[in-house]
Amino acid sequence: MRSELERDFERFKRELPRDFPDHVRAAYGVDLTARYLGETVPHPIGKGSGQLSLNGGQLEDDAAAGLAFVVLKTVIAEDEAGAQSMAAWAIHETRMKVERRESGAGRAGWTVTWKGRGWDRSLDEYLALLRAGRELTRASRLLVVPSVKYHLPRLAEAFRDPEYRYTTARLAEAWREPPLLVEKDFSPTLAGDALAGERAQIVRWLRDVPERIRAASPLPVRLAVKLMNARFDDAFQIEMMDACRGADALVCFNRLFDTEQGVAYGGWDLSDRNLRVLDIAPAVRPGLTGTGNICSGRMILEYARGGCESVQLHTFFQVPLADYPATQGSRTQRALHALVFHPEDGLVAGMLELGARGALERRGGELHFLDVAARAHRQS
Ligand X SMILES: Cc1cc2nc3c(=O)[nH]c(=O)nc-3n(C[C@H](O)[C@H](O)[C@H](O)COP(=O)(O)O)c2cc1C
Quick note: the x/- pattern for ligand X over 182-201, rule CB under 6 A, is ---x-x--------------
For residue 97, the cross-strand partners are 113
Q: How far apart are the first and last CA of the chain?
A: 31
75 near ligand X, judged by CB under 6 A: no
Least Å from the CB of residue 150 to ligand X? 13
Quick note: the x/- pattern for ligand X over 317-346, rule CB under 6 A, is ------------------------------
Stretch that binds ligand X, among 193-201, 239-247, 277-285, 291-299 (CB under 6 A): 291-299
Rounded distance between C-alpha atoms, residue 153 and residue 83, angstroms:
15
Member of 293, 296, 330, 332 binding ligand X (CB under 6 A): 293
74 near ligand X, judged by CB under 6 A: yes
Between the alpha carbon of residue 370 and those of residues 142, 232, 373, the distances in Å are 20, 31, 5
For residue 288, the cross-strand partners are 250, 308
Tell which phi-psi region holds residue 37, choosing left (phi > 0), alpha (psi between -120 and 50) or beta.
left
Member of 55, 114, 285, 343 binding ligand X (CB under 6 A): 114
Q: By C-beta, is 185 or 302 nearer to ligand X?
A: 185
Residue type, 79: D
255 near ligand X, judged by CB under 6 A: yes
Instruction: Select the residue whose beta carbon is closest to ligand X and give its number.
Output: 48
Strands 256-258 and 263-265 turn out to be antiparallel
Member of 266, 286, 287, 307 binding ligand X (CB under 6 A): 266
- ∠ Cα 234 374 4 (to 5°): 110
Task: Please answer whether residues 199 and 235 qualify as being in contact, where contact means their C-beta atoms are separated by less than 8 angstroms.
Answer: no
Least Å from the CB of residue 165 to ligand X? 22
Task: Please answer whether residues 145 and 175 qualify as being in contact, where contact means their C-beta atoms are separated by less than 8 angstroms.
Answer: no
73 near ligand X, judged by CB under 6 A: yes
Least Å from the CB of residue 268 to ligand X? 10
Least Å from the CB of residue 208 to ligand X? 19
Rounded distance between C-alpha atoms, residue 175 and residue 153, angstroms:
27
Rounded distance between C-alpha atoms, residue 20 and residue 342, angstroms:
13
What residue ranges bind ligand X (CB under 6 A)?
A: 48-51, 73-74, 96, 112, 114, 118, 147, 185, 187, 226, 254-255, 266, 270, 291-294, 312-316
